[in-house]
Amino acid sequence: MAEEELNVIEEEDAAGLIIDPATLDTPPPKPKRVWDKKKLILWGGSGAGALLVIILIVALWPSSQEEEPIVADYVQELDESLQKRKVIPPSTLEQLIKKANHLYAQGDKAQALNLFKQIAIQSESISFYNLGVARMKSEQYETALEAFQKAIAQNENITISAINAAVCALYLNEEKSHRYYIDLARSTLDEQRQSPLYSYFKTLIDYYSDMPYEALSSLIHPTSDYYVEESHYLHAKAAFAVNDTLQSIDYLQKVISDEDMSTLGMLYARAGHLDFAKKTLQKALQGGALPLETTIALAHVALKKGDVLEAGTLYKSLYDQGKKDFDKLYPVKISLAPEQFDLKAIQVHYKAEATFDDMTNLKILFHYAPYKIFDAQQTVGYIKKGSANIFIDDIESANQYLKKSTNVSKVNAQIAQAIYDAMTLDLHGALARLEAMKESYPKHSILNYNLALTYAKLGDFSQAHTYFVKSYHQDAKNYLAGVLAVMSGKIVSSEPTKLKEIIKENLEKEIESEEIGFVKALLAYYEHQYSVVNAWAEEFTPHTSLHAALLLLSNKKSDLKEQIHFWADKLVTLTPKDPVSHLLYIHSFFREYDNQIFTTKSMEYLRDRNLAINEIFYGSQITEQLFVEFSFLTGRLYDLVIKLRQQHAVENKNILPVTQALAKSYLYLEKFEEAFVLYNQIIDEYKQKDSNTLFYAAIAAIGAQHYANGIALLELANLKNRYHLESRFALGLLYLQQRNYSAASIQFAKVIQPNFHSKHFTFDIDVDNIGSQTPN
């Protein structure tokens, strides 16, 4: 940082002492503004460690030009003060010289010569001191130290000379010398007890002795009102040293200058006040203060604040400009967001409805969405009122239709079999069967719809979106496919706004019917028009699980408790074996109880339902997600892991869902290495390479500190779903950690969502690698 101008006096002007600050013509310069990068690290890191330098560069200022009258009693007092080395006003040397001349003229040569000797010692001490100050000003610390040593050798002004000598030694990285001079200053400090500067000297000595609490005590109890600005600055640094960032900000603001603006911005960031941090750093940058350090700090703050796109632009600008060594400044280290594994945080989220946020609720609707069967002419005999198509959302209907569909076309028979697989908790089998058919029947709307729905139930919404769009384009009357295409697009951060508007326009042209009314209600829910959804329920009679789920979620958003309870009960009645229905019931009826009562009531409720593990982990991905989280919430996750391990050991037919549930459970338990091993097995042995699996595998890899694996997995995940912002953000952080700023900026440029805050990843400043060439 820029050095301040130092007003020192030349040797021939050395006619005063700094003992009494009240007589100084000009206040001493402020301490040097240097802050420790390894401690001033935005929001991360500890305040522990060696303290940085505040230089006491206080010159020995000349006395006033006004002559003071010679009074015998006053001269005698000055003489006694000199011998006892007490506080003396700065005009003493002139008065002493006059006294010595007077004594010599009167013939008292012995006393006069002794007094002249004392004057010479004082003058020489002052000269050496000021020479040291001048050399410190020009950063000649080695020769400055020599000057202070000579000043100390005169046995005068030892305390202040020793403090400055200690500072020089600190700049020269001479720890032993630094400690010696600090100890010397402390040993002579008592001689300054009557000085108004006593508390200021003690503050500096304590600060350089790595005793910030003692330094703060001196600052809180000053012995004078002198050097207020310098004391405020010292107070800011001492408070910073004891991790009291807010107090540090408070005192730095009192003496803020342009060159401190960047430091203040970083302190704001460290305190978590990111808005203030960003504005202050921008102001510092405009003022030209440390453009390199300030820019990278601003980029980090923007990234932490959720302005990811802006952060990427800043990183790219530094990289494009070829700024030398900027990668050594404030390197970052990725970590997993602790809130996702914190029981108390999850309990708070659960009670605040955050568990069932908009995205989760959309996934729940996909869980209840029905499969579709084409009602070909040859099946009319099986249906009393033949229609273009029917929907099936329960196993009984699927079984019944499967038995009656032996004579339908091959494709419809295969679709029926795939639906049966899905209804008997073999979603992966259903997916394989449907995938095998898509090449032969690429324009089959019903096939594409069912394929999309299966992908959605398995959590691969990128693929689901692709096939829902295809299905709707192949059959514009299949409005459910269209609305689900819009919803799945939202989940993968690629909302098809134009498609949504087309669907809305076409729906307005349709004659009102139960099906059209429901699709409109579903679209209204998506657009947060919950009153429209509730009005639909009054006009038509909801009778499917998807209808009930929609109304339950809509009334939850409206906080209509009576209706919430009604539809939660209705949903359980319609789907008595469905785990998601029971978890929604528990949340609807018990979430307002305290944690202990909530757990007790929830466990009692589930015991009465006697749900089998197959019903929990062989179904949809949202079932697994909600149940693992619920088990963690209620303190039953270890019990669940034991059951999963047992199931994993004996399962020989459909082991994949159990392995996935076990891997997810390990993540919540922060057993990242175990989770990483299982996800590798899922990907390599079971060939599950969808974006969702790759993403959670990357979480496990990062948690286990396998960062190279994390990069590879996220790159693959982005190939599967280029719109997944969490993957983009995490990959950007990993590249940032590797100091590949170009690659990081490319990833951040894809995170176009304003105010983006990752649920899974965060970062801190890598204190151990500040200033190093490469990361560990």
* Tokens read off for 646: 């047992």
What pLDDT does residue 206 have? Answer: 93
Q: Which domain holds residue 51?
A: 11-241
pLDDT at 441 over 50: yes
pTM for this one?
0.77
Q: Assess if residue 441 is contained within a domain.
A: no
Residues whose CB is less than 8 angstroms from the CB of residue 695 and which lie 6 or more positions away in sequence, other chains included:
713, 714, 717, 724, 726, 727
pLDDT at 443 over 80: yes
**Residues comprising the chain, all counted:** 776
pLDDT category of residue 46 using cuts at 50, 70 and 90: very low
E strand or H helix that includes residue 374: strand 371-374
Q: Assess if residue 417 is contained within a domain.
A: no
Average pLDDT over residues 703-710: 98
What pLDDT does residue 76 have? Answer: 45
Nearest CA to 624 out of 660, 651, 649, 655 is that of 660
Average pLDDT over residues 553-580: 95
Distance in angstroms (rounded) separating the CA atoms of residues 90 and 8? 15
Tell me the per-residue pLDDT of 96-125, one tens digit each, with 9 for 90 and over. Answer: 667 767 776 788 877 766 765 666 566 777
* Tokens read off for 161: 């000379």
Tell me the per-residue pLDDT of 7-38, one tens digit each, with 9 for 90 and over. Answer: 222 233 322 333 344 433 333 334 444 555 55
Say which residue the tokens 């970083």 belong to: 266
By DSSP bridging, strand 332-336 and strand 371-374 are: unpaired
Q: Assess if residue 452 is contained within a domain.
A: no
**Cα four-point dihedral sign 711, 758, 366, 448:** negative
Distance in angstroms (rounded) separating the CA atoms of residues 340 and 349? 10
Q: Assess if residue 125 is contained within a domain.
A: yes
E strand or H helix that includes residue 392: strand 389-392
Beta bridge mates, 761: 336
Say which residue the tokens 């040397």 belong to: 93
Say which residue the tokens 């010159």 belong to: 59
Average pLDDT over residues 469-473: 97
Distance in angstroms (rounded) separating the CA atoms of residues 513 and 341? 46
pLDDT at 68 over 70: no
Query: Do residues 490 and 526 touch, judged by C-beta distance below 8 A?
Result: yes
- Of residues 11 and 467, more confidence is placed in 467
Q: Assess if residue 2 is contained within a domain.
A: no
The rounded mean pLDDT for the chain is 82
3-state secondary structure 395-408: HHHHHHHHHHCCCC
In DSSP notation, 744-769 reads HHHHHTT--STT---SSEEEEE-GGG
Q: Assess if residue 108 is contained within a domain.
A: yes
CA–CA–CA angle 517, 521, 523 (5° rounding): 120
By DSSP bridging, strand 389-392 and strand 371-374 are: antiparallel
Distance in angstroms (rounded) separating the CA atoms of residues 239 and 267? 11
Q: Assess if residue 542 is contained within a domain.
A: no
pLDDT category of residue 351 using cuts at 50, 70 and 90: confident
pLDDT at 306 over 90: yes
As for how many domains the chain has, the answer is 1
Nearest CA to 332 out of 756, 755, 729, 746 is that of 729
pLDDT category of residue 89 using cuts at 50, 70 and 90: very low
**Cα four-point dihedral sign 736, 740, 746, 747:** negative
> Which of helix, strand or coil describes residue 243?
coil
> Which of helix, strand or coil describes residue 332?
strand
Query: Do residues 223 and 202 touch, judged by C-beta distance below 8 A?
Result: no
CA–CA–CA angle 590, 596, 600 (5° rounding): 65
Distance in angstroms (rounded) separating the CA atoms of residues 41 and 48? 12
What pLDDT does residue 274 have? Answer: 94
Q: Assess if residue 188 is contained within a domain.
A: yes
> Which of 221-230, 469-478, 500-509, 581-590 is predicted with the least confidence, judged by mean pLDDT?
221-230
In DSSP notation, 487-554 reads HHHHHTT---HHHHHHHHHHHHHSPP-HHHHHHHHHHHHHTT-HHHHHHHHHHS---SHHHHHHHHHH
* Tokens read off for 36: 């420790």
